[in-house]
Amino acid sequence: MKWSLFKKIRKDGSETAKGAENLNQQSEKNNSERADEIFLEKVNERRQEDPLVGAKIGAKELVGNLINGMKDSKGVHIESLISILGSLAGYACQASLRKEYIENRGLQENQVFVILEGANGSRYYFGDMINKPLAEDQMSVWSLAAGMAHHLGCSQFPDLDDIFKHVTSTVGQDSYGIPRIPEEHKPGDIPYEYVANLWPMFLRTAERYCASPLEWPVMGGMALQEVIQWGKDVLNPQLALSIAMECAIPMAKADIKIKLEV
């Protein structure tokens, strides 16, 4: 056999192997995508019996991803996890309104929010529409989180009016959005940074599972329920609830520059 022919056969064999590998990878990808489609179809079917099934599944996936990402040799810092979810759930109240009413339905920003501008030039978004998913609706972030705390034996609850008043009084100041949390329970970062960096992950999960943007805050509240229960032996549910709302309320009303994923 001539060496040139041998090299050609060897080359052709190598390329055939690579081609087979690529086909296998493509086949696996197609199978995975099809399995994903079937799963989401099943979720949609279950909405007939349980309209919030998507929010429930999304909440569990969100919590699992955060726990996996935060876990180190000491475990998970529960105060930081509660702060993250409170911040994201709060911001979801604003973001869901922007998506549903401004982007999808064409309303103007000032038709949805009462807009304030602080002395520092920052904008803040208030009003009944944002307070409903945050603290007034039966499935609001507050109702879901407080419901779990009550279920776990909590009989005294944070003064929600006091948190709202504090948030309003700090508009335009450097102290805006800094939760009033005991020093020994401080989270690893401030709510603004949690939202700016982690919102894309929350949004990806919410858009995948929620039937409507208006379910996004519900998903956030359900995620808080999961973690308040999960960490009950480490962090008192009353304190967990307080931390969650100290983060949720200011982030619901803040103008946050989201850091896009690269």
Residue 90 and residue 67: Cα distance in Å, rounded? 19
pLDDT at 11: 52
**pLDDT of 9:** 47
Rounded (10°) CA dihedral 172, 174, 175, 179: 100
Cα separation, 203 vs 25, in Å, equals 28
The pLDDT of residue 17:
60
H or E stretch covering 123: strand 123-126
Low-confidence ranges of the chain (pLDDT < 50): 1, 3, 5-6, 9, 262
Tokens, residue 138: 């039966």
CA distance 153 to 149: 7
The continuous run of DSSP H or E covering 88 comes out as helix 78-97
The count of other CB atoms within 10 Å of the CB of residue 67 is 15
Residue 160: name the closest of 75, 62, 242 by CA. Answer: 242
pLDDT score, position 36: 78
Domain boundaries, the chain: 1-46, 52-252
134-190: pLDDT as tens digits: 999 999 999 999 999 999 999 999 999 999 999 999 999 999 999 999 999 999 999
Which pLDDT value is given to residue 27?
61
Residues belonging to the chain = 262
